[in-house]
Amino acid sequence: MSIPVLTAVAWPYANGPRHIGHVSGFGVPSDVFSRYQRMVGNRVLMVSGTDEHGTPIQVQADAEGTTPRELVDRYSRVIQDDLVGLGLSYDLFTRTSTDNHHRVTQDLFTALWHNGYVRTEKTLGAISPSTGRTLPDRYIEGTCPICGYPSARGDQCDNCGNQLDPADLINPRSRINGETPQFVETEHLLFDLPAFSKSLASWLDTRTHWRPNVLNFSRRLAEDLKPRAISRDLDWGVRIPLDGWQDAPMKRFYVWFDAVIGYLSASVEWAQRTGDPDAWKQWWCDPESQAYYFMGKDNITFHSVMWPAILLGHNGEGDRGGEVGSFGRLNLPTEVVSSEFLTMSGSKFSTSRGTVIYVGDFLREFGPDALRYFISVAGPENQDTDFTWDEFVRRTNFELANEWGNLVNRSVSLAAKNVGAVPEPTAPDPADEALLAQSRAAFETVGAHLARSRFKQAIGEAMRVVGEANAYLSHQEPWKRKDDPARRDTILHTALQVVQDANTLLTPFLPHAAQKVHEALGGTGVWAEQPHREDAGTSGELGTSHSVLTGDYASEQARWESTPIPVGRPLARPTPLFAKLDPSLGETGPSWAPIQTGE
């Protein structure tokens, strides 16, 4: 049965290029999952985009002497290039600066407002006197009133560890331009999160299949909820559709609020682009549909608590009740799939410390599948994991090239040289049947792991089939069977069938290599589809000119099953699937990210 599966992928913030730690959290896992779901025949909608509002964008644009619009135009394009290069199969990757996103955000807010889950409150807030914009706590520093540390931040003192209020700092100053912040009374919107404590807790009680760290963390958050601001004094973001606020020059939604609504707005935009404006409802309103959210662990809060609370408020399902909003009753996440951090020398990737590996640099030198493989087999699925060039070289050379690349190469080469086509098998012996049974059985075991987002176990099982096939060839030695061509051909046919099965099992992880193996086995047409960039134009309701990532994944041939390889199909000698890396790379790193040595 075909199920609608929403793959909701965390939105990269458009303030710079992404590093490999980012795509190990939200990117590769969500794509492996989506490709598998499509192969089993489910109707996948994979959406995301660049997150383009908020103070950090404004601050960085000021620092670079440009406008927020110019900044996000530039970085959304850089990020799109990286994600296309990695082969992430988005149905729609869009932007939060579109008219459509602004309208969906306002409509969802209107439902929360109407149901009484948002109130206004006058607070004392810091603003920059020169710009009139909110000066967020972490952009204010001063002397700690408790310990006297001169560089305490507005939200906490790094010396004594106490939580602070920026109004308490002695000699407060802006970290952006050094001016003294002004503390003024300003009106803000507060989202009544405590009104969802009960409904969130009972919903989380039904999520027993989540990764335990995500579930336990979310339960603790839901026990201690406080009202949360959803507005800022800022002139870059989504306008607030209330009298007196709509036209205010310095009132916008807080970026966290509009960013999580992107999952819905991107789905709505996707539907508009297909010509069936209600098509998004299959993934959001059908009770049979499933929704999986992928992110790094620093974003769990927004996906397991904030976004579900917004959905419950829109549905009228918090303590205050209410009516179902204009989108109809919206589904909560089926699962929040969070990764831990990919680190380098034990620390998070950091541009300022020089420990950063950008996706674009990586793809230019090594191509996408080596990185996809590394993240899948050795990434931070369940614990923080250190990236080392040494391990990357070892995995690429000994697993991808020696194990998988070599199996494809020698199976196809031998058949091409001796027969010129897929050979015909005669009487199979027990060793042939045992190997074929193993590769057929792997579809169920690997598939069960993928359906549960257990990527390491899944790729481990798929690579086990590869290992068994290599052992089989070494033992059967078809290259020594010149005097018994019937037996030789049976062995080669068996090997080619297992190559085809293993290629199918590895397709979600290695879609670019999978296309090459498909062609090496004599196949034609698109086995695994790749995303591309499209100009989304200025037409219709979208209003803005912007480009998106999308793809025609329905036309790809890959299906999650063992299909018999056609006897007699012509074969040519293949080109090597994976280039081996120079082992010295493991000691030095590449020239653009050299390993830091010394004290």
Can you give the binding site for Zn ion, defined by CB under 5 A? 144, 146-147, 149, 157, 159-160
What does the block give as tokens for 90?
């988005």
Residues forming beta bridges with residue 390, ordered by sequence position: none
Q: Please give the full DSSP string across 157-185, using - where no structure is assigned.
A: -TTT--B--GGG-EEEEETTT-PPPEEEE
Q: How far is the CB of 166 from Zn ion (least distance, A)?
A: 13
**Close Cβ partners of 437 (under 8 Å, ≥ 6 residues apart):** none
Helix (H) or strand (E) holding 110: helix 99-114
Q: How far is the CB of 158 from Zn ion (least distance, A)?
A: 8
Q: Is 144 annotated as a binding residue?
A: yes
Q: How far is the CB of 211 from Zn ion (least distance, A)?
A: 36
Q: How far is the CB of 156 from Zn ion (least distance, A)?
A: 8
Contact status, residue 102 vs residue 238, Cβ threshold 8 Å: yes
Q: How far is the CB of 245 from Zn ion (least distance, A)?
A: 37
Name which of 159 and 547 has its Cβ closer to Zn ion: 159
Name which of 127 and 144 has its Cβ closer to Zn ion: 144
Q: How many CA atoms lie within 13 A of 42 on its CB side?
A: 21
Residues forming beta bridges with residue 122, ordered by sequence position: 187
Q: How far is the CB of 144 from Zn ion (least distance, A)?
A: 3
Output Rg (C-alpha) for the chain, integer angstroms: 27
Q: Please give the full DSSP string across 17-51, using - where no structure is assigned.
A: PPBHHHIIIIIHHHHHHHHHHHHTT-EEEEEEEEB
Name which of 147 and 184 has its Cβ closer to Zn ion: 147
Neighbours of 410 (CB within 10 A): 19
Name which of 110 and 159 has its Cβ closer to Zn ion: 159
Q: How far is the CB of 36 from Zn ion (least distance, A)?
A: 50
Burial class (CB in 10 A: 0-12, 13-18, 19+), 321: exposed
What distance separates the 2 farthest-apart alpha carbons in the chain?
93
* Distance between start and end Cα atoms, the chain: 60
Name which of 144 and 412 has its Cβ closer to Zn ion: 144
DSSP 8-state assignment for residue 225: -
Q: How far is the CB of 169 from Zn ion (least distance, A)?
A: 10
Name which of 65 and 161 has its Cβ closer to Zn ion: 161
Name which of 154 and 511 has its Cβ closer to Zn ion: 154
Name which of 142 and 380 has its Cβ closer to Zn ion: 142
Q: Is 285 annotated as a binding residue?
A: no
Tell the residue number behind the tokens 């099982």, with chain if given. Answer: 461
Burial class (CB in 10 A: 0-12, 13-18, 19+), 490: buried
DSSP 8-state assignment for residue 121: E
Nearest residue to 24 (alpha-carbon basis) of 306, 362, 345: 362
Name which of 146 and 250 has its Cβ closer to Zn ion: 146
Residues forming beta bridges with residue 94, ordered by sequence position: 49
Nearest residue to 225 (alpha-carbon basis) of 211, 204, 239: 204
Name which of 163 and 206 has its Cβ closer to Zn ion: 163
Q: Is 351 annotated as a binding residue?
A: yes
Neighbours of 503 (CB within 10 A): 27
Q: How far is the CB of 163 from Zn ion (least distance, A)?
A: 10
Name which of 103 and 175 has its Cβ closer to Zn ion: 175
Contact status, residue 138 vs residue 155, Cβ threshold 8 Å: yes
Q: How far is the CB of 147 from Zn ion (least distance, A)?
A: 3
Report helix angle 455-476 to 485-506, nearest 10: 170
Beta strand 385-386 with 182-191 is: unpaired
**For residue 30, which phi and psi values (nearest 5 degrees)?**
-65, -35
CA 475 to mean position of chain CA atoms: 42
Q: How far apart are CA 496 and CA 516, in angstroms?
A: 14
Q: How far apart are CA 537 and CA 99, in angstroms?
A: 13
Q: How far is the CB of 175 from Zn ion (least distance, A)?
A: 17
Report helix angle 307-315 to 255-274, nearest 10: 70
Q: In the sheet where 342-344 sits, what is the strand order?
A: 347-348, 342-344, 385-386
| Degrees, nearest 5: CA angle 13-306-107 | 80
Q: How far is the CB of 463 from Zn ion (least distance, A)?
A: 52
Neighbours of 1 (CB within 10 A): 5
Q: How far is the CB of 172 from Zn ion (least distance, A)?
A: 14
Q: How far apart are CA 135 and CA 131, in angstroms?
A: 10
Name which of 3 and 146 has its Cβ closer to Zn ion: 146
Name which of 147 and 567 has its Cβ closer to Zn ion: 147
Binding-site residue set: 144, 147, 157, 160, 351
Binding positions for ATP:
351
Binding site as annotated, residues for Zn(2+): 144, 147, 157, 160
